[in-house]
Homo-oligomer: A and B are copies of this chain.
Amino acid sequence: MQSFRSPIGLELSQTARVVSRAFDDALDQAGGSLPVWLILLNLKIRRPGNQRELAEAVGVREATLTHHLNALDARGLITRRRDAVNRRIHVVELTQAGEEAFLRMREAALAFDRRLNDGLTDADRDNLTGLLHRLAANVGAAENDSPPWAGLAEPPPKPGRRPTAAPGTGAAE
């Protein structure tokens, strides 16, 4: 009788659920949510050429992104203007309030990540990351090879230089 081992899919699911809910709570207290955080984060650390790219980085459809952008716009956190050169493109930018909201969420995300990592060594993290990547690879969805998150942790990214390192944070969905 082999020792019991519950399906890793379920383990992943359950863990993602608890961690995700905790992260949502943390972001909520900073006035955000996971999609909002990912949107602001991506706006800060990359310069998505268009909304399709941004949507992809966030992991939603374009229409879904518009939905979130409308909400952010209504809250005064972003502005949208036409690109002068290619007027089909809407350039999305953070307002002052948006920058502040970003910083609050970033703080919450970093604090959460510290809590989440408590007691884990670098080796543990590498190990976990590797295993997670293998799972993702196994289900096909040929994961984004270059993570859309980066930058953060260090003081707000310096203008003119596309940051490439240091943790932000996010959590399961």
**B117-A171 in contact (CB<8A):** no
Provide the residues of chain B in CB contact with A20, threshold 8 Å: 13, 16, 173
> In this complex, what residue of B is CB-closest to A165?
B4
Cα A113 to Cα B164 in complex, Å, equals 35
**B173-A13 in contact (CB<8A):** yes
Q: Is A118 an interface residue (CB 8 A)?
A: yes
Q: Mark A132-151, 1 if CB is under 8 A from B, else 0.
A: 11111011110110010110
Cα A118 to Cα B21 in complex, Å, equals 29
Given contacts A12-B15, A17-B59, A165-B4, contact A127 B117 (CB under 8 A): no
Given contacts A138-B117, A141-B22, contact A125 B16 (CB under 8 A): no
Secondary structure class of chain A's binding surface, majority of residues:
helix
Cα A132 to Cα B7 in complex, Å, equals 13
Provide the residues of chain B in CB contact with A6, threshold 8 Å: 129, 147, 149-150, 167-168
The residue among A14, A141, A147 with the most chain B CB atoms within 10 A of its own CB is A14
Q: Is A89 an interface residue (CB 8 A)?
A: no
**A129-B167 in contact (CB<8A):** no
How many of chain A's residues have a CB under 8 angstroms from any CB in B?
A: 65
**B13-A117 in contact (CB<8A):** no
Shortest beta-carbon distance, A172 to chain B, in Å?
Answer: 5
Provide the residues of chain B in CB contact with A116, threshold 8 Å: 8-9, 135, 138-139
Cα A80 to Cα B57 in complex, Å, equals 44
Shortest beta-carbon contacts, A-B, top 10: A10-B170, A16-B16, A22-B139, A9-B171, A18-B141, A15-B132, A7-B167, A7-B169, A4-B165, A16-B172
Q: Is A112 an interface residue (CB 8 A)?
A: yes
